[in-house]
């Protein structure tokens, strides 16, 4: 049986990532940095082993050190500015992709939520999600 392939891209389509198989984790992050990065009240991110991700196109990079000391390198399109993928030295060998970059309403829901102490009080979900803080 062939593994499912999912493709995420920036708004203009210049930068793409194709991910093979199911994500190993889909998470919802409420940290303030993710709120600023996404322009939303939280971020939804899916992760795959790097050897199951193919990247096409040009990317600019932005690095940020998180609260726990790990450094994430975010890749975004130099034309339209949309974030498409990132990695972190805190999770070596993994590629993370913002769920919205897939533009797929059938994408699997998050299993965990982090930084819930920073969640907006109105940002509630009916999903059974494990909360890690």
**What residues have CB less than 8 Å from 77, skipping those under 6 apart?**
10, 11, 12, 14, 15, 57, 58, 59, 60, 84
Q: What is the pLDDT of residue 69?
A: 84
**What residues have CB less than 8 Å from 48, skipping those under 6 apart?**
19, 20, 21, 23, 24, 94, 95, 97
Q: Which of 18, 33, 31 is nearest to 63 (CA)?
A: 33
Q: What is the pLDDT of residue 18?
A: 98
Average pLDDT, the chain: 91
Q: What is the pLDDT of residue 116?
A: 86
Tally DSSP H helices, then E strands, for the chain.
1, 11
Q: pTM (2 decimals)?
A: 0.89
Which CA distances in Å does 100 have to 6, 13, 96, 104, 120? 12, 14, 12, 7, 20
Q: What is the pLDDT of residue 25?
A: 95
30-84 pLDDT per residue, tens: 989 989 989 999 999 999 999 999 999 999 999 999 878 889 999 999 999 999 9
Residue with tokens 């009240």: 41
Q: Examine the pLDDT at 7 and tell me if it is beyond 90.
A: yes
Instruction: For residue 80, give the CATH number of its domain.
Output: 3.90.1590.10
The number of distinct structural domains making up the chain is: 1
Give me the domain span that covers residue 55. 5-132
Q: Examine the pLDDT at 2 and tell me if it is beyond 90.
A: no
Q: What is the pLDDT of residue 52?
A: 98
């Amino acid at each position: 049986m062939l593994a499912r392939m999912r493709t995420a891209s920036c708004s203009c389509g210049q930068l793409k990532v194709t991910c093979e198989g199911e994500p190993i984790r889909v998470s919802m992050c409420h940290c303030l940095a993710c709120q600023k990065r996404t322009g939303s009240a939280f971020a939804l991110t899916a992760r795959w082993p790097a050897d199951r991700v193919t990247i096409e196109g040009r990317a600019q990079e932005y690095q940020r050190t998180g609260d726990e000391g790990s450094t994430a390198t975010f890749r975004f399109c130099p034309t339209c500015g949309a974030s498409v993928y990132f990695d972190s030295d805190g999770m070596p060998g993994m590629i993370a992709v913002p769920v919205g970059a897939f533009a797929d309403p059938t994408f699997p829901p998050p299993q965990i939520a982090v930084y819930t102490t920073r969640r907006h009080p109105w940002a509630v979900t009916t999903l059974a999600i494990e909360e890690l803080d």
